[in-house]
Structure 1
Amino acid sequence: MRCRDLLFVTLSALALAGHARAQDTPCGGEFAAFVDGLESEAVASGHDPDTVRRFLAGVRLDPKVLQSDRGQGIFQTPFIEFSRKLISQNRLDRGRAMSEQWDEVFDRIETDFGIARGVLLAFWAFETDYGSFQGDFNTANALVTLAHDCRRPDIFRPQIFSAMTLYERGDFDPATTTGAWAGEIGMVQMLPKDILENGMDGDGDGHVKLKTSVPDALMSGARMLSGLGWRPGEPWLQEVVLPPDLDWSMTGLETTLTVAEWERLGVRAREGALDDGRFEASIIIPQGRGGPSFIAYPNFRIYFDWNQSFVYVMTAAYFATRLDGAPVYDAGSPDPGLSGAQMQDLQRRLSDLGYDVGGVDGILGAGTRAAVRDMQSKLGLPSDGWPTRDLLDKL
């Protein structure tokens, strides 16, 4: 499955939205005029005029990019179903083979950045199937198309100028560079600005080639995670067993206790022991109290700087534990969830009641989960953040 073709833009890109300048080219309107505005803006910011003209000479509006941007319904899928779709025996076997084949590179990453190999292997698997499919969208067209579109223009406009800088360095060709629909490039799918800031020459050939060099791609991905705040040598996610009398309103990323405090409440590791009792952690039950349960350590939150989708983050973090030797989670017997249409109905009702659910999109994200948990508590239901038909009916 080509998962990265459907991923949300990284939060590191979203952070750029606050840096729009007064002279930014307005989105929308006639495409050729928009490109002319980008050219003027690039020259005004210091890029060579001839280089800018060559970079923008062939850019085209790509309707398929917009279709992909609007078509992210896969993230409506619950965690158990989503994770079973993405995590196959083949991906596990290939991941272990890749770990052995590139053992020296992963050892360097663990030494230099303190990031376990399973973490990078999981991203590598989900983003491009270990490099086998890196996307066939023209990257320059994708970035300019999404900057012209008025849904999230300030996210993508800075990426165009970063791509120009890569072009000036000889590391980007606007005619031939391809990647995912949202402009990510290479085996672990990085945006141009992330490549400028975190690209590493892992194989020592003097260039950063994220599409063709495994060492470059993995080392660059590790450096990016490190820059986002990954805590070296620490865990990220672990399956746990919860006591039946746990206060379910304490679950979710909004509540953080020390590991020792969770242990005193009866939380236990499903296998082995929990990590350092001084670590702060949250309890996550992605499909409510009847489904699988996990303890999320501080590094888990870094995943959301790579991707915003809760179900993707949960699956990537869990797959990383599997690649590092963890067993298959206990799926339990979660209550049936809502369909996409029912979820949208629920989100509309919660929004009408004043909750910020992050948009009516049918996706059970952090805002919707928090609203569900609060409403469950008010209605006398177990406040585990998992929306059911019973909740919808009571609303």
Structure 2
Amino acid sequence: MRRFVAAFTISLTMTAAAEAQNTPCGGDFGRFVQSLKAEAVKRGYDRATIESFFAGVRQDRGVLAADRRQGIFKTTFTDFSRRLISQYRLDRGRELARKHDALFDAIERQYGVPRGILLAFLAFETDFGAVQGDFNTRDALVTLAHDCRRPEIFRPQVFAALELHRRGDFPTDTTGAWAGEIGMVQMLPRDILERGVDGDGDGHVRLKTSLADALFSGANMLREFGWRPNEPWLEEVSVPADLPWHETGLNHPKPVSEWARMGVKPRSGRFEGANLKAAILLPQGRKGPAFLAYPNFSTLFEWNMSMVYVTTAAYFATRLEGAPIYNPGNPDPGLSDAEMRLLQQKLAARGHDVGGIDGILGEKTREAVQIEQRRLGLPADAWPTRELLNRL
């Protein structure tokens, strides 16, 4: 599966953004490449390294097509999770957890990131390393830097790849995902430079071939994103029918003890984070699955910005750690792609920032839906329905 572009999640510095703006995107591709070479000279790279890196670079139309084709993220949580979580992935994840027990123990001691989380991303990103992508990484990055949709994100990645090439760790035939991610856990060149870890001690960070390098690097990246050791991330709960729905959602965290007083109960056993704050996450509204999302859940959006992807990955990680299958409930039908776009247009017309008219139910659209549901006297559970669309 080609995941939602991880580059959306990279924290860029102001300097990098300014550098990207100094050279325009678009126009003739050959002249654009020459501008990259000129900037590389200014950065101090020798001519031989520059020519070696850019030799044969080409614009990849397949990358542009993939960038504009991400309809999978418009599916519901239940559909998406059932598509991604197979018995094979559960069995394979548990097998790897047992086989590499010492490796996962070492990672958890050093970074505090549990094996379930790392295995979930390893499964979804590359099917445990089996499908790492066949796009030429250098060509993909230059193509996306030339494209004027997000040059401020991808241009710095080109020079990060150039630096890896200078060090001998980036052959120009390196392949990966369409958005330039490399290896088993799909990291961008700049992340490899800044957060890559030599997990197997061979003096290199090789995310395509070394499981230890991939897992250590992924854990290090999550820690820098703010992962809190020894804390849960997602826990399934049951919610009462009279819960104040407008208080649910990731932007309304409360102490777990307060949710308990309001009638929220863990699906089984005791609350995993009884002394923490958490938000009630209702991926498909009050009639569907319900979860407590702890602070660690939010750090996963630094890896991927898709709500349905992150929720599914977080849930899959709990399954690998022993949680039961979630209760799907009986949620109200969701909107079609055309209806979702129309809803976003209506919300935007009322002054809401929905993050773009793209048909994807992201967090900004959910927040706008919840506000309008409450204004109209509807259950404000952030799940858009045809009734809401008609009322608007």
TM bucket, shorter chain: over 0.9
Amino acid at match of 1:152: R
**1:35 corresponds to:** 33
Residues in 2 aligned to 1:358 and 1:293: alpha-carbon distance in whole angstroms: 24
Amino acid at match of 1:217: A
Question: How far off is 1:278 after superposition?
Answer: 2.7
Structure 2: state its 5+ residue gaps. Answer: none
Give the match's secondary structure for 1:205: coil
**1:298 corresponds to:** 295
Equivalent residues of 1:27, 1:148 under 8 A apart: yes
Question: How far off is 1:227 after superposition?
Answer: 1.0
CA deviations 1:184-239 (Å, max 9, x no partner) are: 00000000010011111111222111000111111111111111111011110000
Structure 1: state its 5+ residue gaps. Answer: none
**2:104 corresponds to:** 106
- The count of residues paired between Structure 1 and Structure 2 equals 391
Give the match's secondary structure for 1:239: strand
Residues in 2 aligned to 1:11 and 1:362: alpha-carbon distance in whole angstroms: 18
| TM-score, structure 1 normalization | 0.97
CA deviations 1:138-173 (Å, max 9, x no partner) are: 000000000000000110000011001111111001
**Kindly, what percent of the aligned residue pairs are identical?**
60
**1:334 corresponds to:** 331
Matches within 5 A, 1:148-187: 148-174=146-172, 176-187=173-184
Give the match's secondary structure for 2:52: helix
CA deviations 1:336-392 (Å, max 9, x no partner) are: 110111100111111111111111100000111001000001111000000011111
Equivalent residues of 1:259, 1:275 under 8 A apart: no
| TM-score, structure 2 normalization | 0.97
Q: What RMSD in Å do the two structures reach over aligned CA positions? A: 1.2
Residues in 1 aligned to 2:13 and 2:125: alpha-carbon distance in whole angstroms: 22
- Poorly superposed stretches of 4+, deviation over 4 Å: none
Residues in 2 aligned to 1:101 and 1:243: alpha-carbon distance in whole angstroms: 42
Equivalent residues of 1:114, 1:232 under 8 A apart: yes
1:228 is aligned to 2:225:
yes
Give the match's secondary structure for 1:273: coil
Question: How far off is 1:12 after superposition?
Answer: 4.1
1:88 to 83, 86, 89: 86
Change (3 A) 1:285 1:18: farther
Amino acid at match of 1:50: A
Amino acid at match of 1:182: A
Q: After alignment, is 61-70 or 260-269 more displaced?
A: 260-269
Question: How far off is 1:21 after superposition?
Answer: 2.8
Equivalent residues of 1:16, 1:154 under 8 A apart: no
Equivalent residues of 1:179, 1:185 under 8 A apart: yes
Change (3 A) 1:315 1:155: same
Give the match's secondary structure for 2:230: coil
Q: After alignment, is 99-108 or 329-338 more displaced?
A: 99-108
Question: How far off is 1:57 after superposition?
Answer: 1.6
Amino acid at match of 1:218: L
